[in-house]
Structure 1
């Protein structure tokens, strides 16, 4: 299976880069992982809602240009479906059985995802109704992808 993660912005904190690198390394035993960063837009402190929409559109266009044509797209969205780790593992396994060997997971920037990206997504996934920094979300997502592969392989993993 090929997993592509498209994320807005660079991860600046070393501890997050280290966590991301660790889970990316662990995932090499289970899938072909590709992490793509697209440039984020500077957002002024008191930006109008119109400017925020323009920023999301620019970031969204960058995201859409990187999504592989045949990929099944899962967008991380606060209003998406919440799954347990086991349910997420089941979702990935079901996609594999259906012949969907290319999965693309999308993490938006600080303003979220453009409507065009959400429309392109076949599935919207929420990790919580809480808001997380998009840089931290990358580490959390990679950990859950790794956990899903361990669950599907019936291999032990800490709880």
Structure 2
């Protein structure tokens, strides 16, 4: 059964170098899974928002994300407080999901201030890549590279850096 991977991400990719990298990994992933990227609109905010404004933005973006989430998918929220895995352990987790009959996995990338609590609660797993704060647009490229790496590990194929 082929694996269906969906990435729900806030905002559009603005930088050409990121778009090129994303296209490259989309191409590489074609032989491993069906990939779909769903972009939801970024909520407008003032330049220096306070905590209440940040919360409002995350809530609005979260409503858009929740409207696109498939409840029958295994939903993974990317957030700094999530669980950490090595690439090998995450590949193993993806392999275990596939063996248990899960064929749809959705990764969720929030906007500038992250994901709303509602999105995190609706997810099956919270995943952290690092304590570092990464721009959400760059995170999309990093995630695609890791998905590609996980599939290579699952199949026992070499991965050249």
The interval holding the TM-score normalised by the smaller chain is over 0.9
Kindly provide the CA deviation profile for residues 76-106 of structure 1, in whole angstroms up to 9, marking residues without a partner as x: 0001111111011011101111111100000
Structure 2 residue runs of 5 or longer lacking an equivalent are none
How many Å separate the matches in 2 of 1:134 and 1:58? 16
5 Å matches for 1:92-107? 92-107=94-109
Kindly provide the CA deviation profile for residues 1-52 of structure 1, in whole angstroms up to 9, marking residues without a partner as x: 1000000000000000000011011111010100001000122122221121
TM-score (norm 1): 0.97
In the TM superposition, structure 1's runs of 4+ consecutive aligned residues that sit over 4 Å from their partners are: none
1:111 aligned onto 2:108: no
TM-score (norm 2): 0.96
Match of 1:35 among 12, 34, 37: 37
1:78 aligned onto 2:80: yes
* 1:127 to partner: Cα distance: 0.5
How many Å separate the matches in 1 of 2:118 and 2:102? 22
* 1:69 to partner: Cα distance: 2.7
How many Å separate the matches in 2 of 1:33 and 1:92? 15
Task: State the SS of the aligned residue for 1:154.
Answer: coil
1:150 aligned onto 2:152: yes
Kindly provide the CA deviation profile for residues 100-137 of structure 1, in whole angstroms up to 9, marking residues without a partner as x: 11000000000100000000111011010010000000
**How many residues are treated as equivalent by the alignment?**
159
How many Å separate the matches in 1 of 2:109 and 2:132? 15
Q: Please name the residue that 1:64 is paired with.
A: 66
